[in-house]
A and B are shown apart, each in its own frame.
Chain A
Amino acid sequence: MLLDEQELRQHLTAAAGQASAPRFTVDGLAARIRRRRARLIGLLSGSLLAVAVLAVTVPIGLRGGGGGVPLGRPGVAPFRLSYTVAVNGQSRVFPRNGPPPTLTVTPGEKLRIDVGVIVPPHATLTGLWLGITNSMLSPRRNGPADMHPILAARTRAPLRHGVHRFTLHWAVPARLLPGATRQVSIEWAWSQFPPGDGEQIVAQFDVEGGAGT
């Protein structure tokens, strides 16, 4: 049993003729299209905004509040500096994501601070500075801006993976008033792409208050 194609075409044309004229108008359609476009553009811009927010917030989140987690080469996990601290021969615990150790000092006291900086694998530091800061941390690729005095610096040879030990000597200024604070801070820079810098407080010193000073 065969069906002639020409005959089928005639059947289809006759059947299609039963369709009524479209009831929609160009203006009505254009309004629907505009609404759909606005929704699509809204979704698109919302997605782009979300991506932009993530692109900004994720690196900031990884850096942490105190900083110190610079981003490495794309595709390489961001590295973080770890370190050990000992003041006057006594080791101070430095919890990984917690606040730095706090010590009470008296004006004029002489301190010997031993810091071991641990550079993670795949990271190379082009500069590293250790010194005293007054609640201000402002790293710069060419050196710290708010570190007085700078007690140790390594800028000539890059620091690669491993432990790098520094011994710092600092006398608490006699003019500091009770309740004043100072910090031993570490600031570092790297030239890997993207180049950057980081900073972190190693230990905090609280000047003794109510001790007759």
Chain B
Amino acid sequence: MESWKQALAELARDRFMPLKRQAFLLCGDDSQAEDLVQEALVRAFARPLRAPRPGAAEAYVRVIMVRLFIDGARRRSRWNRAAPLLTGPQTAADPADQVADRDVVLTALNGLSPRQRACVVLRYYEDLPVAQVAAALGVAEGAVKRYLSEAMARLAARLSPAESRGPGKDQADAS
């Protein structure tokens, strides 16, 4: 068996699901996460001269996934800016988005920039040290710390217990 097929088979055995979960946290959407994982895997193994070695494949795929997500988010952002000019001002919000936004954590993550979101996922979901997060994103460690700090402030505003209790707590206090 060729080495890339062996590495792919190793990944498939028990690492596809963790990759999908990470992609889901990055994208916040199941089908987008599916596409992201697939594209990252294809890109990782399609390069004839730079295919990952067995054992090192997962980390390589994760890096590609994060970078694809950030690049894709940049493209989507450009499209979102241009879309109103093409479709007109009457564009309504997609009901599917509203359904997806029900989840508090995902909604909170949606409020972050792509880089902040990638930093949060890598640092607090994957438990990578700051240096490895910086290496995966191709930025300085200081930049990662800044992204994390800003992201935590934003997430705290949405996820902290005081906020989540919201009006209920105020009513209880008033009574």
Decide yes or no: A9 and B38 within 8 Å by CB, A19-B21, A20-B30, A22-B17 being known contacts: no
Expressed in whole angstroms, the minimum distance between the Cβ of A206 and any Cβ of chain B is 60
Number of interface residues of A (CB under 8 A): 31
- Picked from A3, A12, A20, A37, the residue with its CB within 8 Å of the CB of B152 is A3
Decide yes or no: A29 and B38 within 8 Å by CB, A3-B156, A3-B160 being known contacts: yes
- Picked from A2, A11, A29, A41, the residue with its CB within 8 Å of the CB of B48 is A41
In the complex, chain A residues whose CB is within 8 Å of the CB of B157: 1
**A68–B92 Cα gap in the complex (Å)?**
73
- Between A3, A7, A18, A20, the greatest number of chain B beta carbons within 10 A of the residue's beta carbon is seen for A3
Q: Are B156 and A1 in contact (CB under 8 A)?
A: yes
**A36–B24 Cα gap in the complex (Å)?**
25
Give the segment of B2-10, B74-82, B128-136, B165-173 that binds chain A.
B2-10
In the complex, chain B residues whose CB is within 8 Å of the CB of A51: none
- Picked from A5, A12, A22, A33, the residue with its CB within 8 Å of the CB of B16 is A22
Asked whether A58 is an interface residue with its Cβ less than 8 Å from the other chain, the reply is: no
The interface bits of chain B over 148-164 (1 if a CB of A lies within 8 angstroms of the residue's CB, else 0) are 00001101110110110
Number of interface residues of B (CB under 8 A): 45
Q: Are B125 and A13 in contact (CB under 8 A)?
A: yes
Q: Are A33 and B155 in contact (CB under 8 A)?
A: no
Asked whether A193 is an interface residue with its Cβ less than 8 Å from the other chain, the reply is: no
Query: Would you list which residues of chain A between 177 and 207 have a CB under 8 Å from chain B?
Result: none
In the complex, chain B residues whose CB is within 8 Å of the CB of A40: 46-48
In the complex, chain A residues whose CB is within 8 Å of the CB of B103: 15, 18
The 5 lowest CB-CB distance pairs between A and B, nearest first, are A19-B24, A36-B46, A3-B156, A16-B21, A15-B105
Residues of A within 8 A of B (CB): 1-3, 5, 7-9, 11-24, 26, 29-30, 32-33, 36-37, 40-41, 44
With A2-B160, A9-B125, A37-B48 known, 14 other A-B pairs at CB within 8 A are: A1-B160, A11-B104, A12-B105, A12-B124, A15-B109, A18-B24, A19-B17, A19-B24, A20-B20, A26-B12, A29-B42, A32-B42, A33-B42, A40-B46
Sample 17 A-B pairs with CB under 8 A, ordered by A number: A8-B155, A12-B124, A15-B25, A16-B22, A18-B103, A19-B21, A19-B30, A20-B20, A20-B30, A23-B34, A24-B37, A29-B8, A32-B38, A33-B41, A36-B42, A37-B46, A40-B46
